[in-house]
């Protein structure tokens, strides 16, 4: 067994370490063993929770989702669907007789359709046979109809056995014309339809087939009394593509109805939406800045369904909230709140400034479902993968109670490292908060090599949750430093908005201050440090290596450093226009924010660039330009292109390959032992 500086650096080493017991380090192959648990839906009677699992099919090189349901007492956990086509978006019928889900499994109609499972058992039956893409669906309160959100397909599904036809030119006339995964955007938008279950009759809610296809209708929810439908739409004149001004509308639950606008804030009034039990109020989320959306701390608000002044819940005025859910009794809202390095379950009153924090542990709650007085969530910590939990107990002492254990066997094998909270001062006085995870087998008094691992967004945060990247890097022998730099969420709107039109400045100050703090702890080898990240983490990697030479290796994934070269290339046209103005109106910020590219001759750090060739979020051209620039000035660089991948990778073998290449790159330049080579991938030399 090879040891260096007190660390076990072989990928399959097993040690008895204080706090770990007889456990092994996590390895890349464990990614295929992890079960992604999510999407809880409490049944109307509160007795069961339907949810989804996603697992990796190594042979097919794809992820497959299935439906399960667990009883409220946790004694029964039943798998409901099987097959390679997957199933998602479970929804109970209000009468409790049916569980609906979406799937593209073979049936009478092609594409993703709504299927039904009888609560009493039996095979699933295909319910819908629509030609459009189903973006979302909801049961009517009487269980006799469904509200479908449909988008017309760009091209109709080919008939069975039909000869393939050549592709047609893509004709574009929209201002916002690109979006990751969706690709090039046409004028086809999402619209609401009523679907009668008995007759399968389909009726458009707003207008008819001849109505101009100009505004989208999304995030729709049926009122509990069945009379109204609330939805979100951007209907800014003359062109909604040029604005972030979405609003909440209501419309009668019948065909050819005329919607009524309920909100008027000149920014984001959006979903997910929630109705009060008496159908009188609609809860939604409102942004802070009229022109911007990227830095918004979306706070909770309510508006009367019949019209009237919306009310922002002052208790959440400076907090980033998630989807609202009416608490049992309908007198308050449940949501999650992103606070410094945690995401907790909270109860928010309609009046007053006090938020009741319902989960005190260091961890993260995501996705809430409530019915019949029962509340279910997804909960995760540093040392526990996400699972379904009930939130219950005697009044005043409610707590999380674990219901599922899909990852328990794997977690029991692994030596997982908790993240330590760190604080440091940036050179301009900002207090920077971060997480430091020490490597598997770390011996006190020694110094470990460290990776500054930068989160994307920037409006996101590194929190106490199960993070496979953090655990794999620590298991491989690296200390991992994750910094919530200015721009991150969890510290209020002003902290996030601080980087507006000033990218790569304050963030780099914060990153380097946190690195100094980690080194000052005596645990880090300052001569063996690397840096890396994905998306805005890749962008900040470029800014960082253009600002300092202290890192021995870097990895910039899905990043960019030439802002002029990105205008009109990615999906962020509104952010460029609102935050920086178009280049011909204000060239200075584009030049200022492009300093890693324009000063590439100052970069000496060997850098690995990566990206998917189908990424319209942060397009591959950003990495290609930086790769070419470093090659031109003679700095060591490598470019890895992943075919067919969007901003977030979907092919498991490519996810695995990416980790192995990270390991190989940092091993080489930080003096780590040689590991197994990555599988071949087509790349530029």
**DSSP state at residue 640:** E
Given a cut of 90, is residue 36 above it in pLDDT? yes
CB 546 within 8 A of CB 607: no
DSSP-based helix, strand, coil % in the chain, nearest 5: 15, 35, 50
Reported as a pLDDT band with limits 50, 70 and 90, residue 160 is low
Q: Please tell me the distance from the alpha carbon of residue 473 to that of residue 116, in angstroms, as a whole number.
A: 42
Q: Is 326 in a helix, a strand, or coil?
A: strand
Q: Is 542 in a helix, a strand, or coil?
A: helix
pLDDT tens-digit readout, 283-332? 999 998 877 778 888 899 999 999 999 999 988 887 889 999 999 888 89
What Cα–Cα distance (Å) separates residue 189 from each residue in 168, 182, 209, 216, 267?
Answer: 20, 12, 13, 5, 20
Given a cut of 80, is residue 212 above it in pLDDT? no
The 3-state secondary structure of 551-600 reads CCEEEEECCCCCHHHCCCCCCCHHHHHHHHCCCCCCHHHHHHHCHHHHCH
Given a cut of 60, is residue 141 above it in pLDDT? yes
How many CA atoms within 13 Å lie on the side-chain side of 384?
18
What Cα–Cα distance (Å) separates residue 87 from each residue in 35, 60, 132, 204, 590?
Answer: 15, 16, 18, 26, 44
Reported as a pLDDT band with limits 50, 70 and 90, residue 279 is very high
pLDDT tens-digit readout, 213-255? 789 999 999 999 999 999 999 999 889 999 999 999 999 999 9
DSSP per position, 503-540: TTTHHHHHHHHHHHHHHHTT-EEEEEEEEEEETHHHHH
Q: Please tell me the distance from the alpha carbon of residue 387 to that of residue 35, in angstroms, as a whole number.
A: 9
Average the pLDDT over each of 20-29, 128-137, 409-418 and give the range with the smallest value: 20-29
Q: Is 349 in a helix, a strand, or coil?
A: strand
Torsion region of 640: left, alpha or beta (phi above 0 gives left; psi -120 to 50 gives alpha): beta
CB 114 within 8 A of CB 135: no
Closest-CA residue to 130 (of 164, 101, 105, 153): 153
Reported as a pLDDT band with limits 50, 70 and 90, residue 10 is very low
The residues, any chain, with a CB within 8 Å of residue 389's CB and separated by 6 or more, are 376, 377, 378, 379, 400, 401, 402, 403
Torsion region of 9: left, alpha or beta (phi above 0 gives left; psi -120 to 50 gives alpha): alpha
**DSSP state at residue 453:** E
pTM confidence score? 0.92
Query: At 610, which helix (H) or strand (E)?
Result: strand 607-612
Q: What is the pLDDT of residue 531?
A: 98
Given a cut of 90, is residue 371 above it in pLDDT? yes
Q: Please tell me the distance from the alpha carbon of residue 144 to that of residue 352, in angstroms, as a whole number.
A: 40
Given a cut of 60, is residue 616 above it in pLDDT? yes
Sign of CA dihedral 204, 208, 209, 212: negative
The pLDDT > 90 percentage for the chain reads: 80
Reported as a pLDDT band with limits 50, 70 and 90, residue 333 is very high
Which single residue is written with the structure tokens 């109670």? Answer: 401
Q: What per-residue string of b and e applies to 445-479 under the rule 16 or more CB within 10 Å gives b?
A: eebbbbbbbbbbbbbbbbbbbbbebbbbbbbbbbb
- Between β-strands 77-79 and 62-71, what pairing exists: parallel, antiparallel or unpaired? antiparallel
Q: Is 480 in a helix, a strand, or coil?
A: strand
pLDDT tens-digit readout, 452-490? 999 999 999 999 999 999 999 999 999 999 999 999 999
CB 368 within 8 A of CB 362: no
pLDDT tens-digit readout, 544-564? 999 999 999 999 999 999 999
- The number of beta carbons lying within 10 Å of the beta carbon of residue 36 is 17
Q: What mean pLDDT do residues 253-261 have?
A: 94
Q: Please tell me the distance from the alpha carbon of residue 366 to that of residue 517, in angstroms, as a whole number.
A: 31
Given a cut of 50, is residue 5 above it in pLDDT? no
The residues, any chain, with a CB within 8 Å of residue 237's CB and separated by 6 or more, are none
Reported as a pLDDT band with limits 50, 70 and 90, residue 18 is very low
CB 452 within 8 A of CB 499: no
Q: What is the pLDDT of residue 474?
A: 97
Closest-CA residue to 219 (of 175, 280, 282): 282
- The number of beta carbons lying within 10 Å of the beta carbon of residue 252 is 15
Q: Please tell me the distance from the alpha carbon of residue 134 to that of residue 109, in angstroms, as a whole number.
A: 12
Q: What mean pLDDT do residues 617-645 have?
A: 97
CB 360 within 8 A of CB 346: no
Q: What is the pLDDT of residue 7?
A: 41
Given a cut of 90, is residue 76 above it in pLDDT? yes
Average pLDDT, the chain: 91
Q: Please tell me the distance from the alpha carbon of residue 22 to that of residue 415, in angstroms, as a whole number.
A: 8
- The number of beta carbons lying within 10 Å of the beta carbon of residue 106 is 10
């Amino acid at each position: 067994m090879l040891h260096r500086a007190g660390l076990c650096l072989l990928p399959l080493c097993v040690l008895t370490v204080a706090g770990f017991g007889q456990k092994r380090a996590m390895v890349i192959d464990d990614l295929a063993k992890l079960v992604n648990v999510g999407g809880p839906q409490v049944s109307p009677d509160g007795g069961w929770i339907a949810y989804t699992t996603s697992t990796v099919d190594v042979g097919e090189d794809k992820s497959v989702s299935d439906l399960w349901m667990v009883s409220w007492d946790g004694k029964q956990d039943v798998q409901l669907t099987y097959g390679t086509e997957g199933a998602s978006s479970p929804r109970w019928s209000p009468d409790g007789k049916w569980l609906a889900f979406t799937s593209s499994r073979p049936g009478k109609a092609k594409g993703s359709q709504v299927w039904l499972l009888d609560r009493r058992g039996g095979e699933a039956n295909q319910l819908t046979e629509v030609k459009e893409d189903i973006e979302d669906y909801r049961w009517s309160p009487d269980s006799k109809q469904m509200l479908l959100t449909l988008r017309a397909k760009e091209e109709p599904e080919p008939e069975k056995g039909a000869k393939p036809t050549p592709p047609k030119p893509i004709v574009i006339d929209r201002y916002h014309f690109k979006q990751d995964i969706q690709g090039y955007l046409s004028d086809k938008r999402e619209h609401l339809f009523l679907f009668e279950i008995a007759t399968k009759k389909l009726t458009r809610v707003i207008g008819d087939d001849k109505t101009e296809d100009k505004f989208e209708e999304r995030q729709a929810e049926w009122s509990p009394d069945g009379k109204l439908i609330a939805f979100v739409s951007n209907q800014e004149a003359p062109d909604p593509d040029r604005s972030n001004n979405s609003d909440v509308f209501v419309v009668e639950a019948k065909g050819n109805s005329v919607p009524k606008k309920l909100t008027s804030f000149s920014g984001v009034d959006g979903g997910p939406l929630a109705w009060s039990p008496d159908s009188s109020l609609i809860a939604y989320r409102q942004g802070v800045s009229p022109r911007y959306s990227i830095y918004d701390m979306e706070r909770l608000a309510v508006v009367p369904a019949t019209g009237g002044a919306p009310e922002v819940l002052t208790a959440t005025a400076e907090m980033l909230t998630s989807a609202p859910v009416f608490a049992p009794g309908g007198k308050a809202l449940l949501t999650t709140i992103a606070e410094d390095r945690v995401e907790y379950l909270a109860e928010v009153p309609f009046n007053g400034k006090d938020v009741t924090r319902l989960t005190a542990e260091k961890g993260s709650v995501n996705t809430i479902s409530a019915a019949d007085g029962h509340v279910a969530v997804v909960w995760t910590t540093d040392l526990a993968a996400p699972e379904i939990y009930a939130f219950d107990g005697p009044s005043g002492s409610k707590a999380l109670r674990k219901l599922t254990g899909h990852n328990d066997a794997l977690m029991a094998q692994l030596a997982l490292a908790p993240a330590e909270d760190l604080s440091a001062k940036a050179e301009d006085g900002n207090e920077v908060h971060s997480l430091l995870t020490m490597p598997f087998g770390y011996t006190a008094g020694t110094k470990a090599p460290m990776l500054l691992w930068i989160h994307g967004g920037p409006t996101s945060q590194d929190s106490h949750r199960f993070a496979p990247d953090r655990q794999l890097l620590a298991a491989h022998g690296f200390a991992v430093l994750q910094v919530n730099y200015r721009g991150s969420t969890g510290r209020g709107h002003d902290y996030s908005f601080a980087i507006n039109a000033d990218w790569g400045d304050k963030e780099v100050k914060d990153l380097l201050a946190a690195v100094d703090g980690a080194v000052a702890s005596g645990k880090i080898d300052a001569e063996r440090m690397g840096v890396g990240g994905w998306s805005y983490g890749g962008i900040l990697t470029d800014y960082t290596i253009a600002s300092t030479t202290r890192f021995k290796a870097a990895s910039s994934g899905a990043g960019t450093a030439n802002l002029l070269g990105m205008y009109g290339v990615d999906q962020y046209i509104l952010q460029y226009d609102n935050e920086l103005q178009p280049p011909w109106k204000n060239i200075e910020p584009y030049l200022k924010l492009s300093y890693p590219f324009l000063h590439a001759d100052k970069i000496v750090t060997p850098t690995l660039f990566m990206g998917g060739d189908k990424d319209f979020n942060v397009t591959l051209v950003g990495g290609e330009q930086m790769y070419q620039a470093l090659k031109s000035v003679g700095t060591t660089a490598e470019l890895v292109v992943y075919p067919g991948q969007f901003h977030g990778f979907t092919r498991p073998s490519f996810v695995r390959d990416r980790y192995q290449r990270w390991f190989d790159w940092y091993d080489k330049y930080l003096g780590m032992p040689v590991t197994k080579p990555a599988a071949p991938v087509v790349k530029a030399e």
